[in-house]
Amino acid sequence: MLQNLLLVTWGCISELTKDCQDMTNASSTYLGIAIGAVIAVIISWWIYNRQKKISEKQDLTFTHIKELNERHDRILKRLDESDKRHDSTLNAILELNKKIEHIIERQDKLHK
């Protein structure tokens, strides 16, 4: 009974029934829709799978970039602190140089 109902709605398919000579327009349409649906499901799954893999790689790359930026920020802060220490050291050396020059000038004046 179910088979007869299927054949009435589906139409004549020569591959499925013995007494059929040619496929009807209805069965051809239904077969086309079924094959199209299968192809659409396969393509949709393939696109979803590719997008998921790309998204995971992007997340990993963004995480890596974020870590690199944090490391670079720490390095820049260290360089800034080092630059400040070097500036203070240079200022101290220049101050000592002025004092030494002043002492040398005083000694030169005393010897003349």
Mean pLDDT is lowest, of 3-17, 28-42, 68-82, for 3-17
Q: What is the tally of structural domains in the chain?
A: 1
In a domain, 46, yes or no: yes
How many angstroms separate the Cα of 32 from the Cα of each of 28, 36, 38, 40, 73? 6, 6, 10, 12, 60
Single pTM value for the model: 0.52
Confidence of residue 57 (pLDDT cuts 50, 70, 90): very high
In a domain, 17, yes or no: no
Share of the chain above pLDDT 70, in %: 78
Domain that holds residue 48: 2-12+22-111
